């Protein structure tokens, strides 16, 4: 049926459940084929007695009745099509229409493969060696243009509702990777009348520029979808994302103005409105040296779903902290601040230091305390291996082992079992037993302190002015406003505070 129109991911309703497949309407009739092969249903045009449209959540449902009494229900259409025109062979949106513009050999990361992209008047066609997707423009709800950090590639994400299907896997996000520096020139195969009447202000006759920009401009003009680009967030190296891993897959986490997007696999879009709270977690794997370099970010949604972004470099902490404060998201800590698993409490208490970076010192202290505590415990055990002077039973076992007499050892055990338990000697006072028991090493009060961070200098300088301008704001809101001010400052404006921190570090 060369004159037909195809629809992917259409469900066949019935008593056995719903099965996804490809639906085709042409001048000869209707055909539904199960995806992956198998069952095929063909309904000739002459056998159709009635068709009825019904609006269902997020899609449309088509009911077809035939002259032999059979009834079919097809679910998942993005729009209600004028079936009389299709069945008469007059569908102007036929799959045979010439492509407006084409892009050859583009790399798609999800679903993985290399495809040729054809932009038609009503649909986007992605044609690969093993798969052929036809995506109606009405199913495209958003386009994302996200450059990679320190990488010559840019990601373009096409978000769909409903998603396309490959095998048994649904793909809501098509992740396309373009070479950032590639320049192309494309002409739109549209008449001037059509450009002036339908696409005025949306499309031009030709485009020349970076390949990902030309692709997005053409797709946006034809589909009418909105485009989202990176917001004000910058990582420690000036990029738009931080390296992380989700479900054991390495990728990039993009903090956007209204959400977060993890790419490329699994592509995960999180909207701010769906977030219940965000939590920074001390990285507990890989030993103390590993935990001092990385941390984890937990995002819990209002539907109780939890996303754990692991192995984020510690140098990205302040940038993420500031953007989360600017988003007014609820930020939670790990309990009592000592690494225990107590109840979760708000990270921003109403104190004067609420605007400062409270979480980073806590995370650093956790890593440092764990390492020092382990060393102290090991050294104490080494000293006490020969038997503690405060433990009578330990002294008896040590003496028996030195005598080497097994009979004496057993007799002593029997005698000790008949006697009442020996009382533990009191702890040694000043100077008593100090050589036999090593105490925990104390910190040197004269040791150099950690350098004050640039943000802290800025907070101390700017807080009085903010309090004067907003006298009714509580300390928490003042701290949040300071975080927003710091996030919006340019590198040149931050330079005085950075220099103060560097001087403090040298001193």
- Taking the domains of the chain in order of start, what are their residue ranges? 5-87, 101-228, 242-366, 454-506
496 or 227: which carries more pLDDT confidence?
227
Architecture of the structural domain at 242-366: Roll (2.30)
Q: What is the pLDDT of residues 416-433, one digit of tens each?
A: 444 555 555 555 454 444
Q: What pLDDT does 377 receive?
A: 36
Residue 247 has pLDDT above 70, yes or no: yes
Residue 283 has pLDDT above 70, yes or no: no
User: By mean pLDDT, which of 117-131, 155-169, 266-280, 468-482 is the weakest?
Assistant: 468-482
Nearest to 314 by CA among 482, 453, 495: 453
Q: What pLDDT does 479 receive?
A: 86
Architecture of the structural domain at 5-87: Roll (2.30)
Residue 380 has pLDDT above 50, yes or no: no
- Tell me the pLDDT of the chain averaged across its residues: 75
Q: What is the pLDDT of residues 325-379, one digit of tens each?
A: 999 999 886 444 333 333 333 333 333 333 444 444 544 444 444 333 333 333 3
Helix (H, G, I), strand (E, B) or coil at 420: coil
> What residues have CB less than 8 Å from 156, skipping those under 6 apart?
143, 144, 145, 146, 175, 176, 177, 178, 212, 215, 216
Residues 364, 369, 374, 378, CA torsion sign: positive
User: By mean pLDDT, which of 281-290, 459-468, 480-489 is the weakest?
Assistant: 281-290
Q: What is the pLDDT of residues 18-57, one digit of tens each?
A: 668 888 887 778 888 887 777 788 888 888 887 777 777 7
Q: What is the pLDDT of residues 155-208, one digit of tens each?
A: 999 999 888 877 778 899 999 999 999 999 999 999 888 888 888 889 999 999
Stated as kind and residue range, the H or E segment containing 368 is: helix 359-384
Q: What pLDDT does 4 receive?
A: 62
465 or 124: which carries more pLDDT confidence?
124
pTM: 0.54
User: By mean pLDDT, which of 8-17, 220-229, 324-333, 392-401 is the weakest?
Assistant: 392-401
Indicate the CATH number for domain 101-228.
2.30.29.150
Q: What pLDDT does 47 receive?
A: 83
What is the rounded average pLDDT of the residues 197-224?
A: 93
pLDDT category of residue 501 using cuts at 50, 70 and 90: confident
Give the chain's radius of gyration (CA, Å).
Answer: 34
The reply to whether 5-87 and 242-366 are identical in fold is yes
> Nearest 5°: phi and psi at 178?
-115, 150
Count, in order, helices (H) and strands (E) of the chain. Answer: 11, 25
């Amino acid at each position: 049926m060369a004159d037909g129109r195809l629809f992917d991911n259409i469900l066949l309703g019935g008593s056995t459940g719903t099965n996804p497949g490809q639906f085709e309407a042409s001048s000869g009739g209707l055909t539904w084929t199960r995806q992956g092969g198998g069952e095929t249903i063909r309904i000739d045009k002459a056998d159709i007695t009635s068709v009825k449209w019904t609006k269902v959540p997020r899609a449309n449902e088509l009911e077809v009745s035939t002259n032999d009494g059979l009834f079919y229900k097809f679910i998942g259409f993005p729009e209600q099509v004028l079936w009389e025109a299709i069945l008469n062979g007059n569908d102007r949106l036929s799959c045979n229409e010439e492509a407006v513009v084409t892009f050859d050999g583009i790399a798609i990361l999800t679903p993985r493969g290399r495809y040729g992209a054809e932009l038609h008047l009503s649909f986007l066609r992605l044609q690969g060696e093993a798969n052929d997707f036809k995506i109606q423009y009405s199913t495209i709800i958003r386009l994302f243009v996200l450059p990679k950090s320190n990488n010559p590639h840019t990601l373009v994400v096409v978000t769909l509702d409903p998603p396309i299907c490959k095998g048994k896997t649904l793909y809501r996000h098509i992740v396309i990777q373009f070479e950032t520096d590639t320049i192309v020139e494309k002409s739109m195969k549209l008449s001037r009348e059509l450009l002036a009447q339908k696409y005025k202000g949306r499309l031009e006759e030709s485009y020349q520029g970076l390949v990902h920009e030309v692709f997005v401009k053409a797709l946006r003009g034809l589909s009418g979808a909105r485009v989202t680009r990176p917001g004000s967030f910058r990582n420690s190296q000036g990029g738009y994302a931080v390296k992380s891993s989700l479900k054991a897959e390495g990728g990039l986490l993009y903090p956007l103005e209204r959400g977060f997007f993890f790419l490329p696999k699994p592509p995960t879009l999180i909207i701010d409105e769906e977030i219940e709270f965000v939590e920074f977690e001390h990285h507990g794997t890989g030993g103390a040296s590993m935990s001092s370099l990385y941390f984890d970010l937990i995002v819990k949604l209002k539907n109780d779903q939890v996303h754990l972004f692991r192995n984020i470099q510690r140098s990205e902490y302040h940038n993420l902290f500031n953007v989360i404060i600017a988003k007014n998201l609820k930020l939670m800590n790990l309990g009592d601040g000592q690494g225990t698993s107590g109840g979760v409490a708000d990270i921003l208490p109403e104190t004067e230091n609420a605007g400062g970076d409270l979480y980073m010192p806590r995370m650093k202290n956790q890593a440092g305390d764990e390492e020092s505590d382990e060393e102290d415990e090991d050294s104490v055990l080494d000293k006490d291996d020969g038997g503690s002077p405060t433990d009578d039973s330990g002294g008896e076992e040590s003496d028996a082992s030195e005598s080497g007499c097994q009979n004496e050892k057993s007799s002593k055990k029997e005698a000790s079992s008949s006697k009442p338990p020996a009382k533990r000697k009191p702890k040694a006072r000043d100077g008593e037993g100090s050589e036999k028991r090593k105490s925990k090493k104390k910190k040197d009060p004269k040791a150099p302190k950690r350098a004050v961070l640039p943000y802290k200098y800025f907070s101390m300088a700017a807080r009085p002015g903010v309090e004067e301008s907003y006298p009714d704001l509580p300390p928490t809101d003042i701290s949040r406003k300071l975080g927003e001010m710091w996030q919006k400052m340019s590198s040149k404006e931050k330079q005085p505070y950075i220099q103060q921190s560097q001087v403090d570090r040298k001193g």
